[in-house]
Structure 1
Amino acid sequence: MKNIVILGGGFGGVQAALTLEKKLKKLRVKNDYEIILVDKEPHHTFTPLLYEAATTSKNLADYVELKSLVSFPFAELFKDKNIRVVNDVILHIDTAEGLVHLKQSKIRFEYLVVALGAETNYFNMFGLEENALPLKTFMDAIRLRDAIWRRAEEGAERLRVVIGGGGSTGVELASEIKEWTRELQEEVNKSCNIDVMIIEGSKNILPGFDGRVVRKVEKRLKKIGVAIVRDEKVDKVTQKDIILESAEKIAYDILVWAGGVKAVPLTEKMPLKKEKRGRIEIMGGLECIPESPDLKIYGKIYAVGDAACIINPKTNLPVPQVARAAITQGKIAAKNIIEDIKKQNFLSKKIKQYVYKPMNYPYIVPVGGKYAVAKIGLIVISGLLAWIFKGVVELNYFLSIMNPFKALKIWLHGLRVFIQNDRLG
């Protein structure tokens, strides 16, 4: 039995597993290969909804209900599919011998898909990691929600929440926290006011986004009362203050860090060609290459999603780390593995090479309540229509990873909860 091992159950990893399973079962050598997905968690997290989970009233949805809306067990996603899930911690990847060393076992691979994502980058700033809350997992969202709720319960009349980083995560979270103020006043503490501030190191929030989108988002943030500090970088953080490089001091009660990500240590240590931030450099076919010609690599190794870096030949810049890119890359890596299996087993005379072609993916930025800004091709839309489009995109993703009945059930349940959470205006 030859193993096709996928490391990581995020957007790219799940799509690679599902695509492989669908295509492998059509080959007569299907029983000679096993698809194994390795992840330390037993579930796939839909990260675009974490900001919603972090700002949903405890009276509206408890921990279990919220988790069912953003985290989906692999056992359910892969039910009746020939995909084995291993819940374990990855210790080391031996690319020369073709072995993945886990905490409790080890797995040999013939094909390896590295889809380990990225982790929060604190840039070695003094006091930042110790004092800031990240927003990468469901538990991060719950910890943030509980921190705000607890302060309100304790009778705080003014709660200062600072978001480090004005990318999409920072903007989505800042605006939703500000809109949440009214619910907290009604349910917990009538006198509690939340001041929300975004600190962005670039000259504008949403660096790299279309200027029309940025202007609409900034207008919306101003309307709902979110303060923005531009062109300022954090120098260090204490338990009560953020000190900027300009020496300005900003007091805070809760600090959330959404200022960047970096490669996970596992991928940084792999002897593969990497870019300066530690992500694995790949070509169009998504196959990895050794960092030096004399290094031996066992089998074939592919990288997708945030673990990978691919340069867009049109812009000469790395492809943005977005879910849609990871999903497409996962499918392409899977297709190229299937083609190589056909080649190795003499199943086809014509072997295809699938190539990842970067594109300008549509994107949506929710900005508090039932309001969002979306860019679709050359068109920019905003307001309720963009918010509705966001819901359609979410449903489309659920349909791609689970059966239609389950997808619609989860989506409608989430819509019921979050539509109460998102005020109109």
Structure 2
Amino acid sequence: MLYTLHETGYYGATPLRLAALATRNFWSSPLNPARDTDFGRRVFATADLVSNLTRRYRQPDWGIDSVTIDGEAVKVRPHTVWSSPWVKLTHFARDMADMRKAGRNRLEPAVLIVAPLSGHYATLLRGTVQAFLQDHEVYITEWQNARSVPVMEGRFDFHDYLDHVREMLRFLGPRPHVVAVCQPGPPVLAAAALMAEDEEESRPASMTFMGSPIDARFSPTVTNRLAEERPFAWFASNMIYTVPPPYPGMGRRVYPGFVQLYAFMSMNIERHQEAHLRYLQHLMEDDGDSAEKHLEFYDEYLSVLDLTEEFYLQTVDYVFQRYLLPKGELVHRGRLVDPGKITDVALLTVEGEKDDISGIGQTQAAHALCAGLPDALKADYVQPHVGHYGVFNGRRFREEIYPRVRAFIAEHESRFDKSRAAA
């Protein structure tokens, strides 16, 4: 019922949205002699804010057409190289002629960035991708919005997610590198453990976990405490709704993206209100640069997707309530998952000092679980002064975190090359 009410509200606001758009266009028209007056800017700013608050925020574009490598502009073309109904594996192919101009004549390490399936689209990692493109062949998971997947395609749960990660690593070939950002940490570690136990050729050469809830018992945050305080039945009864028509996935039971978005925004509602008031003021003052930065942030932040009922509830149960992986109790397709079986997959954990979603220690817990790894293959880094999003985006990520990840991958790519040559 809530999903239907949400959609009714959106369509019910259509007259207001159209009126706001018409007003905005009128007061921004170069043919309007009053558009640069104080009154004109105020009306335009108000109409623009209303139109933005009532519009549909769809999946953003990547907007990555080129990357600068050693001073040379290298063209980039994102395209799908593997897919299922639930995910697209996108490769950001760099132009080889431009790469040669930049002095890059050898094949660079393949890196699979596993984006979170937790409400936002993979484009939230745009800055992450741009950084990795400087030194790697970059692939990223683009998870599908559950409301866009017809019911006839069946279920998609935690175990299916794990299987998809394994399939994509196999697609990339021998010993790729994997980077898990936030939510994917537990299933990616589990996938690596199973591949290591099976001695698969495509098991990762290295795995990097960034702000991931490997063991959510450490430094519990507001999100963790909510999962602990509420019984599992509460989540099943209050967080799951049915997709209404006209979406392709109508009838599917989902955890709607807008529910999670409202929950996140309510945690910092005053900050969001102040941001929109500042945006209104910037428009009135004709400060286009500041207003554009606001739009760029909220175009991404307000674009959300739905999760299937089974994936969401299993994640709550496995990761945030029963802690199955760190307790050694996670069973996948009848097999016990044991990260201790990992012996030659290098491990790097990255955390933010001020992370209020995955607290300090939750990601570091991977080191204790990977007891079979020698210390020489382990590294840990805590970035001062950053919160959750600063772990994988922003200036400190580009200048302080990414160089460490790059050096770690290069070190273990070299190790793999040497072992392959010896063989």
Whether TM-score is above 0.5 comes out as: no
Q: Which has the higher strand share?
A: 1
Q: Which has the higher helix share?
A: 2
Query: Structure 1-normalised TM-score?
Result: 0.28
Query: Structure 2-normalised TM-score?
Result: 0.29
